[in-house]
Amino acid sequence: MASSIEESNKSNSRLQLDSLESLRVKEISSQFFEMVPVRRMRWKDDDAAMMVASPDLQVQVLNATVRHPVCEEFPPALSYRRYFMKLFIQKVKIVLFLFYKPSGEYVSLQESVHLVSQGTTGLSTWQAAQHLAEWVLENPQVINNRTVTELGCGLGFTGIVACRCCQVQSYTFTDCHSQVLYLLANNISQNLGADRHRPAARDSSSDRERRMLRKIRRQLSHSATGDNSGEFCDNTDLDSITKLSDNDQINTCGDGKLSVEPLDLNLNPDKWCADPSSSLMSYRPDPRVRLCHLDWEWVKEKQLEVLQADVILAADVVYDLSIIPALVLVLKALLYGRVSNGRKPRAFIASTIRNEDTRDAFLIAMASEGLSYSVMENPKHQRYFYDRSVPIEILEFYAT
């Protein structure tokens, strides 16, 4: 009897240890694919001891990072992988190269190497976007069966997570920068629709695509300052951008219309179609998804009618005093818009509080337009790895 109890205890301990190891591997893998700077990676105090004692765990870590199928299709920069492996070797004092094909969901994004490029902040995924995505995952009822418009969506992380994990009626991604929209369209193609995560064809790129890629590379190169030592890297090589069309005429718009400028952006007509009545680009593989060029400083109120939605989302859009007046007017137009099924539109804005004065100026400007706010509870669970040393808050705004 005592022997049976002892064996049972050992079995339970083994299960608990396996569960703990699985959790640790998942955390390391998440940080690797989120491109967390290697020097900032969070390793539990006993991670190294566990890996040294368990060759199987070493294999799991490698298979969940550098040998993962996602890493083969969308590899981080070579310098980043080298830094990661250097840290890994330091931790375990051993190198193993084995293959393993685990299953699991993921979101892959193409990003800029640098945090700010060519006057736009949209070429990187900011902390507030990840924070807002975590909040949406814990509060899906806010956007389920609702029409959603996201302002300043950047590379689309929050929206892609929302469309993948929630039951939105429609989701409209908006941004003002052509290069952001260009990469956003590719990120949508890679993550939404039946052919998501299919590797892009590298041997059939159009001349226009090559020119666009060269333009992006030049601008990113010119914007580089200092030595990033491989710590901030692309989630994937720009060469893997999905095949685009050579057709320059993707949309014909009259005055007062919202559009993607054909001279700056050329979307594959097999995946994107123009809506003549609204000048929105609709995504064929997932009809809920739309894309729109929107410049807050030049848009007219009547132009925002096509973007009216039950829910407005935005992340890290309150970062500069100069853009606050235009942003507030856009939010006012959307929040005082139509009422759907007796529900007034609501806006949820996630902001990293870097400057209290900027935050206060935004709140004062919103109040002056009759817009009130409530502070939302932060997400309880950490799903993504990002800098949490600076506070991030989510505010709900509504017309009073």
pLDDT of residue 213: 54
Q: How do residues 137-154 score in pLDDT, each as one tens digit? A: 999 999 999 999 999 998
Name the nearest CA neighbour of 295 among 122, 143, 135, 131. Answer: 122
pLDDT of residue 283: 93
pLDDT of residue 393: 96
Name the nearest CA neighbour of 344 among 304, 314, 372, 303. Answer: 372
Distance CA(382)–CA(363), nearest Å, equals: 28
pLDDT of residue 167: 94
Distance CA(395)–CA(372), nearest Å, equals: 10
Strand 392-399 and strand 371-375: the pairing is: antiparallel
**Residues of the chain falling short of pLDDT 50:** 2, 5, 10, 12-14, 17, 94-104, 113-124, 200-205, 221, 223-264
351 DSSP β-pair partners: 393
Q: What pTM, to 2 d.p., does this model score?
A: 0.66
pLDDT of residue 362: 97
DSSP letter, residue 290: E
Q: Are 131 and 233 in contact (CB under 8 A)?
A: no
Distance CA(172)–CA(155), nearest Å, equals: 13
Distance CA(350)–CA(215), nearest Å, equals: 31
pLDDT of residue 114: 44
pLDDT of residue 304: 86
